[in-house]
Chains A and B, each alone.
Chain A
Amino acid sequence: MTGGFNPMYGGSPGFNPAFGGAMGPGMGGPGGCCCGGGDPRMMMMQQLQIMEQMLNMMAMMMGGGGMGDMMGMPGMGGDMMGMPGMGGGIPNFGGGFPGGGCMPGGFGGVPGGFGGAPGGFGGVPGGGFSPGGFGGVPGGGVTGPIQGGAAGQGGQAAVDYARRFLGRDSYTLKGQMNNFTAAGGKTNNCADFVCSALQSTGQLKGHFVGVRALEQALQRQGYRRVPAQQAKPGDVWISNSRSHTELVSAPGGRRTIGSNNIRQGFQRISERDKNPASGVYYSKG
């Protein structure tokens, strides 16, 4: 039972046609035309279909989708047990776009497969994780910016620089870490931090405080998406939802360092193990 996906979901790479985004014939096409001046009823049908898909996804997530079963917890499976009004089988989910009419039955059937990759986010509790020798500089007390680019070379230099801030609350790095702006205040500084580490050690040009903007900049500047096994220190990990990013600190993408949530709305610099399946990796070519 290693890492495989529940056969319930098909397990194959690629997406279930049910979620594949293709609007069915007569539904206006992928470009989202027929809006505005279109037939209001057709518009409502389209809305209904999309919302039914969203609802189906939520039902699957909240039902666990068989997660418990795969962990050896019989009885926690992917049905909607205990949900009032959600008992029956499900009409219409699983292939393309249904013609409406889903709610009456309930959920249950799960569509085909989603393909593999990851999502994830940060979240490391305070303390306990910085590897020996790099120790954080908790609480401040450092005056003036800490210069980057000294220790290692290439991507490792970015990691070495980032590690100098382990244990620090991210917002306190402004004025301490070169290029860091604390754009997200006490939270949402993940891209700011990764970018600062790269920029300050000559691995990236420009400063980007949003994950998507950072990803685009990486692509423009020659970074390429690589499998986790090929990730090396100084590469960049980005969650599937593009909501979080960290700097790879160990070969194979197994460890990362970043500005991570220690509680809601508050980030601290920490280094931690990373499930390689939890995001995408960019490496400088």
Chain B
Amino acid sequence: MNFPGSPYFVLERLLEEYRNGLRSPEDVARSLDIFDSFVSQWNEGLMALPVEPSVLPDGEETLNGSFQGLECFSEASAMMRDFLASGDESLADQALDTARQGHETLESLFFETARRVETLQNEVG
């Protein structure tokens, strides 16, 4: 997996630090608030993108994929909170799995979009 600073890796590290006793539940909860705020900002940013179907017919599809990726992160955060509340380790595993799905979704979209940008740049000259 690329992007070692991605939300997935942030969550993974947060969990690791919690399990190692480096963070209290309250600290993790505060960090998840920050995490959620970032995801929210990104959601807003995506919604503000001027994707016109008439200009970029499949732009909405890419955007929807991005939203889904972000939703995975939000979902993972919610699961982490559930883990904190219940202590059920399986929830932590589910949270990471869900975040990984988000990561992979966005990673795939990123590379596909980068490839298309490069192609377009070559065509535009």
Contacts and interface: CB of A to CB of B under 8 A. Distances in A.
Interface of A: 1-6, 9, 15-16, 19-23, 28, 30, 32, 35-36, 41, 43-48, 50-55, 57-65, 67-68, 70-73, 76-84, 100-103, 114-125, 128-129, 239-241, 243-244, 261, 263-264, 272-273, 275, 277-278
Interface in B35-52: 35-52
A277 B38 CA distance: 11
B124 A50 contact: no
B21 interface: no
A23 B5 CA distance: 31
Contact of B40 (A68, A244, A278): A278
Given A67-B38, A103-B118, A116-B44, A61 B69 contact: yes
A272 B71 contact: no
B73 to A, nearest CB: 9
Contacts of A64: 3, 5-7, 9-10, 38
Contact of A119 (B7, B17, B74): B74
B103 to A, nearest CB: 8
Interface string B67-101: 11111101110110110011010110010001001
Contacts of A41: 124
Q: Which 9 A-B pairs have CB atoms at the shortest separation, nearest pair first?
A: A119-B43, A123-B75, A64-B5, A118-B40, A32-B52, A121-B71, A21-B50, A120-B74, A62-B3
Nearest to B62: A54
Interface string B100-121: 0101001101100110111011
Contacts of B43: 117-120, 239-241
Contact of B44 (A15, A73, A103, A122): A15
Contacts of A53: 49-50
A43 B55 contact: yes
Given A44-B123, A103-B114, A119-B67, 10 more contacts: A2-B30, A2-B33, A23-B50, A54-B66, A54-B113, A62-B6, A62-B103, A119-B40, A241-B43, A241-B46
Contacts of A59: 110
Contact of A68 (B13, B67, B74): B13
Nearest to B57: A47
B75 A261 contact: yes
A62 B110 contact: yes
Contacts of B85: 128-129, 273
A103 B91 contact: no
A3 B41 contact: no
A51 B113 contact: yes
A71 B31 contact: yes
A207 B40 CA distance: 29
A56 B111 CA distance: 12
A73 B32 CA distance: 13
A125 B40 contact: no
Given A28-B55, A54-B113, A62-B3, A121 B75 contact: yes
Contact of A19 (B6, B49, B91): B49
B108 to A, nearest CB: 10
12 contacts: A5-B41, A15-B44, A15-B45, A19-B49, A22-B50, A62-B103, A116-B41, A119-B67, A124-B78, A243-B71, A244-B71, A273-B81
Contact of A58 (B30, B48, B79, B110): B110
A184 to B, nearest CB: 15
Contacts of B90: 125
A201 B69 CA distance: 35
* Best-buried of B30, B33, B41, B49 by chain A (most CB within 10 Å): B41
